[in-house]
Chains A and B, each alone.
Chain A
Amino acid sequence: MSSFTEFFSFADPNVRYVTIGAVLITASSALVGTFTFLNKKSLLGDAIAHAVLPGICLGFLLSGTKNPLYLILGAFVTGWLSLYAIQYITTKSRIKEDTAIGLILSVFFGFGILLLTYIQKSGNANQSGLDHFLFGKAASMVAADIITFSVVAVCLMTLTLLFFKEFTLMVFDRNYAVALGLPVKKLELLLTSMIVLAVVVGIQAVGVVLMAAVLITPAAVARFWTNSIRIMFVVAAITGAFSGLAGAYISYTAPSMPTGPWIVIVISTLALASFLLAPTKGVLNRFLKQRRFRRTIQDENVLKVLYQLGEGSKNFYIHRYAEEIIRKRNFNKQSLMRSIQRLCRQGYLEKSGELCSLTEEGKNRAKRVVKIHRLWELYLTTHVNIAPDHVHEDADTIEHFLTPELEADLERILNYPVVDPHKAEIPY
C-alpha cells in the first residue's frame, strides 16, 4: 500500500515524467486510433509503426546526430512513404490490401533493422539509444521528452476537436464527403499525418510492435460500450489514459517490468473484459439473449401443442402425459421436461404427478400464439400470394415475435377472419 501512496503522490519527479508521458501518449494515440478503427484500417497503424524505423535510422545516418528533430523528420518520411506504397500497390496491382500491408510492414522493418545493425557495428559513439525505438523506453523518460509529448498530444487533441465533424464524415462515408465538396484528399493527408505523428512519439514509449495496440485497442473497447461516436472517443481516450497510468504504476512497483508491454496488457485485459461482459454487445449477453429466445420458443411450442390437443377433444384442461405431447410434436424428452417445469413455475401449466394440463393463463397464451400463427398464414396467402402449403414454416417463426400492435393491425387488415387457409378455426 505504501508504494501506492508513494506513486500517486507523484513526489518523485521521475514518476511524474513517466506517468504524464505515458498518459499523454496513450490518450492522444487512442483518439487518433479511433478514426483508423472506424475506417476499418486498424492494421495501418501497425504498418506505420514498423515503417518509421528505417526513417529514424536514415535520419541518424544523414545528420550524424541523435537530434530528435532529424529522427522524427526521417520517421515522418518513411511513415508516409509506407502508407503511400500500400495504397499504390493495392490500386495498381492485383495484390490485396492486407497482403500489401504485411509486405510493406515487413520489408520496411527489415530494411530498418538492416540499417540499425549497420549503425551499431559502424562504431558511431552516438548510436546508443536508437534501439529504444524498438521496445520503447517509457521508464526512462526525462523532462525534455515530456515537453515533446505534451506538444504533440495537445496538437493531436486540438486537431481531433477542430476537424471532428469532417473526419467522422470522411471515415464513415467518403463518397458523401466528396459529394459535399469537402477537401477529402487534404483531410486524409492531415489524418494520416496525425497517425504518423502519434506513432512516432508513441513508439518511444511502447515500442514498434505494440504501437498498434495503443492506437486501436482503446477504440475497440469503446465500441463495445456505446453507439454514440462522441462518447466513443471519450471512452477510448479514458481507456488509453487509464492504461498508461496503470502501466506506469506497475513498472514502478516492479522496476524490472517494462512499462510499454504492461500498458498493452492493461488495455488488452480491458478489451477482453469488454468483449465478454459488455452490456448488449458482449459475448455473454448475446449468449444469454439467444438462450432466452430459444427457451421462449420452446415453451410456447409446448403450450401450443397442448392447446391443439385440447382443440381435438374440445376441452383444453385435460391432464396429459409428456408422451402425448411428444407424439404430437417431436420434442427432446429432457428439454420438454425442463420446459414443463419452467411453465409450471410461471403458472402456465399445472402438474399432478406425471400429468400436466394448461391453466387459464396458459390457455390464453397458447391461444394467442395459435391465433397469430393462423392469421399470419392467412395473410401470406391472401396478401403476399404464397401457396397455402408453403406458409407454415414462416408462421411457425413469427408467432413467437409478433408484437401486440402488429397483431391488432393484422386482425384489422384481414377483417377478423374465422378460418385460416387450412380451414382451421382462428381463436379470438
Chain B
Amino acid sequence: MALVSDAISHAVLPGIVLAFLFSGSRDSLTMVVGAGILGLLTTFLIEFFHKKAKLQSDAAIGVVFTWLFAIGVVLISLFAGKVDLDQDCVLYGEIAYTPLDMIILENGNLLAPKAVVVMTSVLLIIGIIITLFYKELLLTSFDPGYATAIGFSTAFWHYLLMGMVSATTVASFESVGAILVVALLIVPPATAYLLTDNFKRMLWLSSLIGVIASASGYYLAVWMDGSIAAAIATMSGVLFAGAFVFSPTHGLLKRKLVRAMN
C-alpha cells in the first residue's frame, strides 16, 4: 500500500487549489476538507480502475495520480493571479516561513505558529484514532480476508486509513510540499520495520525516527543553507541506510555474520 500514499500526496493538489478558490484564503479547514475529498477520490479511482476495468494495480496508481496532479498544476496556472500557491511550494514546501504565520489572539498576543497548531491537532486526532481503533486497523491491514470473515467492514477501515493519510498529507503540505511528505510517510515505518518485529514498538519507533530525521534534517539544512524539508527527507534516507546495514535483527551486517559463523 506504500505507493497509494505516494499517489494520494500528489493527487490532493487539485483539491487544495479548488478549496483555495472557494474559500479565497489559506484557511486550513477548507484545505483539509478539499484534500480529504480528493484523497478518498484517488483511492476510489485506483480501486475502480483496478477492479472494474481490470487495469493492473501499478498502472492504475500511476495513471490516476499523474492525471490529478496535472489537473492541479493546470488549475494553478489558470488561476495564477488568484491562488497564492506556486509550483515550488507545491514541490518542497516552505517550512522556514512557519514562524511568520502566527495565530494572533484577540488581545494581540501571539499564540503559536499556525502550522504548529494545525500539526498538533492532526497528531492528536491521529493518535486518538489509532489508540481507539488499534485492533481494527491492525487486523484489517494484516489480514483483510480474516477481518471480513469475522464481520469487520474492510472498506470502511481502509477508507478511514486513507482519509488519515490525506489529512496528514495536506496538513504537512504547506510545510514540506507534496513529494517530500512521501518520504515522511514511508521511510520512518520502513526503517522501524527493519528494527523490530513487534507492531506496537514499530509504531513508536517510526515516530521516534521521524522526530530524529526532522531535528537532524533541520541542522543539515542550516549547515548547507538549503531546503529544510529536503534535508529532512535526506536524513530519513540516511537513517534508513543505517538500519539497513546495522539493524541487530534484520541488518545486512548481521546476516553476513550469521552466514560467516555457519
A in complex with B = yes
A212 on interface, CB distance cutoff 8 Å: yes
B-facing residues in A170-201 (Cβ within 8 Å): none
The answer to whether A107 and B237 have CB atoms under 8 Å apart is yes
The answer to whether A94 and B73 have CB atoms under 8 Å apart is no
Additional pairs, 19, CB under 8 Å, beyond known A106-B186, A110-B234: A40-B58, A41-B58, A94-B250, A99-B186, A102-B185, A103-B187, A106-B6, A107-B233, A109-B183, A110-B183, A113-B230, A115-B226, A117-B92, A121-B226, A134-B87, A212-B62, A256-B78, A257-B78, A262-B70
- Which of A261, A282, A286 is B74 in contact with, Cβ under 8 Å? A261
Give the interface size bracket for A toward B.
35 or more
B205 on interface, CB distance cutoff 8 Å: no
- Which of A122, A209, A219 is B66 in contact with, Cβ under 8 Å? A209
User: Can you list 5 A-B pairs, Cβ within 8 angstroms, ordered by A?
Assistant: A106-B233, A110-B179, A261-B74, A268-B66, A281-B54
Q: Mark B230-259, 1 if CB is under 8 A from A, else 0.
A: 111110110010001000001010010000
A-facing residues in B186-200 (Cβ within 8 Å): 186-187, 190, 193-194
- Closest-CB distance, A235 to chain B (whole angstroms): 15
- Which of B53, B80, B180 is A106 in contact with, Cβ under 8 Å? B180
Bound CA span A256–B78, Å: 7
Residues of A within 8 A of B182 (CB): 102, 105-106
- Closest-CB distance, A7 to chain B (whole angstroms): 19
Q: Which residue numbers of A lie inside 8 Å of B, CB to CB? A: 37, 40-43, 45-46, 50, 89, 92-96, 98-103, 105-118, 121-122, 131, 134-135, 209-210, 212-213, 216-217, 219-220, 223-224, 256-258, 260-262, 264-265, 268, 271-272, 275-276, 281-283, 286
- Closest-CB distance, A192 to chain B (whole angstroms): 17
- Closest-CB distance, A203 to chain B (whole angstroms): 13
Decide if the interface of chain A is mainly helix, strand, loop or mixed: helix
- Which of B59, B74, B230 is A114 in contact with, Cβ under 8 Å? B230
- Closest-CB distance, B33 to chain A (whole angstroms): 24
Bound CA span A220–B59, Å: 7
Least CB separation from B220: chain A residue: A114
Least CB separation from A121: chain B residue: B225
Residues of A within 8 A of B61 (CB): 42-43
Residues of A within 8 A of B232 (CB): 110
The 9 closest A-B pairs by CB, nearest first: A110-B233, A107-B237, A213-B66, A106-B183, A268-B67, A113-B230, A264-B70, A114-B230, A117-B227
A-facing residues in B149-167 (Cβ within 8 Å): none
- Which of A96, A209, A262 is B179 in contact with, Cβ under 8 Å? A209
Least CB separation from B241: chain A residue: A107
B121 on interface, CB distance cutoff 8 Å: no
Residues of A within 8 A of B190 (CB): 95, 99-100, 103
The answer to whether A110 and B229 have CB atoms under 8 Å apart is yes
The A-B contact count (CB < 8 A) is 205
On whether A286 and B231 interact (CB within 8 A), knowing A105-B6, A210-B69, A256-B77, the answer reads no
The answer to whether B55 and A220 have CB atoms under 8 Å apart is yes
Residues of A within 8 A of B70 (CB): 210, 213, 260-262, 264-265, 268
Decide if the interface of chain B is mainly helix, strand, loop or mixed: helix
Bound CA span A42–B92, Å: 24
B221 on interface, CB distance cutoff 8 Å: yes
The answer to whether A102 and B230 have CB atoms under 8 Å apart is no
- Closest-CB distance, A370 to chain B (whole angstroms): 35
Least CB separation from B178: chain A residue: A209
Q: A93, A96, A260 — which one has the most chain B CB atoms within 10 A of its CB?
A: A93
- Which of B55, B62, B180, B240 is A113 in contact with, Cβ under 8 Å? B180
Q: Mark B32-74, 1 if CB is under 8 A from A, else 0.
A: 0000000000000000010011111011011100110111011
Bound CA span A223–B73, Å: 27
The answer to whether B3 and A102 have CB atoms under 8 Å apart is yes
Residues of A within 8 A of B91 (CB): 113, 134, 209
Residues of A within 8 A of B63 (CB): 213, 216-217, 220, 268, 271
On whether A117 and B193 interact (CB within 8 A), knowing A107-B236, A268-B66, the answer reads no
B224 on interface, CB distance cutoff 8 Å: yes
The answer to whether A114 and B227 have CB atoms under 8 Å apart is yes
- Closest-CB distance, B174 to chain A (whole angstroms): 16
- Closest-CB distance, A105 to chain B (whole angstroms): 7
- Closest-CB distance, B82 to chain A (whole angstroms): 13
Q: A93, A106, A220, A281 — which one has the most chain B CB atoms within 10 A of its CB?
A: A106
Residues of A within 8 A of B225 (CB): 117-118, 121-122
The answer to whether B59 and A42 have CB atoms under 8 Å apart is yes
Residues of B within 8 A of A93 (CB): 194, 244, 250, 252
The answer to whether B74 and A110 have CB atoms under 8 Å apart is no
Bound CA span A135–B63, Å: 18
Q: B53, B179, B232 — which one has the most chain A CB atoms within 10 A of its CB?
A: B53
- Closest-CB distance, B46 to chain A (whole angstroms): 12
The answer to whether B226 and A42 have CB atoms under 8 Å apart is no
Residues of B within 8 A of A118 (CB): 224-226
- Closest-CB distance, A100 to chain B (whole angstroms): 8
On whether A89 and B53 interact (CB within 8 A), knowing A113-B227, A114-B224, A121-B225, the answer reads no
Residues of A within 8 A of B88 (CB): 131, 134
On whether A101 and B240 interact (CB within 8 A), knowing A95-B190, A209-B69, the answer reads no
Bound CA span A261–B10, Å: 13
Bound CA span A258–B78, Å: 9
Q: Mark B204-226, 1 if CB is under 8 A from A, else 0.
A: 00000000000000001100111
The answer to whether A275 and B71 have CB atoms under 8 Å apart is no
B5 on interface, CB distance cutoff 8 Å: yes
Bound CA span A116–B2, Å: 26
Residues of B within 8 A of A286 (CB): 52-53
- Closest-CB distance, A248 to chain B (whole angstroms): 15
Bound CA span A98–B62, Å: 12
- Closest-CB distance, A137 to chain B (whole angstroms): 12
- Closest-CB distance, A407 to chain B (whole angstroms): 31
Residues of A within 8 A of B240 (CB): 103, 107
